A = this chain, B = another copy of it.
Amino acid sequence: MAEPRKSAQQAGPRRAGEKPHDHDACIDTAIARARTLCDERAVQLTPLREKVLQIVWRSHKPVGAYQVLDELARTHKAARPPTVYRALDFLIAEGLIHKIESLNAYLGCGEAGVAHTSQFLICRACGTAEEIVDPKLDQALDAAAKRARFTVERKVVEIAGLCGRCAG
């Protein structure tokens, strides 16, 4: 059911001098990877879940659950809050999306299937959130926790401010 999409409504991250971001390809890659991963793990990426994943991936801006619901309801009349939250919970459990706690919103994971910690740079001007993987930062988090004799289970790192394009 991978019908062609209309061109993406939101451009992705791009800095001056870089070439335009092909967001359709970006989504396609993410969906393809999700299918592969779910297949390997013998979990079901149902049409509903895949549709929700597509909606989350429509932009690089974190999207609220009720925005997802509105979008989903266009083609899926039965959609209700639990429909969306269940799909989001599944996608989070499988590491296909992240929740941005400081925004109560959700973002496609660019590193699905790869062991990684999630750190986010959230621009207050353009609304995009960039997922970064910074081993030094991650080590610093672990070191800080260890110093406090704390056993880490989950790390939430969200840096808000201005991205290079919006500041520059």
Contact segment of A57-65, A78-86, A147-155: A147-155
A residues adjacent to B (C-beta < 8 A): 15, 101-102, 119, 121, 123-124, 130, 132, 134, 136-137, 139-141, 143-145, 147-164, 167-168
Q: Given A101-B102, A124-B153, is A147 in contact with B134 using a C-beta cutoff of 8 Å?
A: yes
Q: Give Cα A154 to B156, complex, Å.
A: 13
Instruction: Count the copies.
Output: 2
Q: Which residues of B contact A151 (CB under 8 A)?
A: 161-163, 167
Q: Within the complex, which residue of B132, B144, B154, B164 is in contact with A132, where a contact is CB–CB below 8 Å?
A: B144
Q: Give Cα A162 to B149, complex, Å.
A: 9
Q: Give Cα A52 to B66, complex, Å.
A: 32
- Rounded to whole Å, the gap between the CB of A134 and the closest CB of chain B is 4
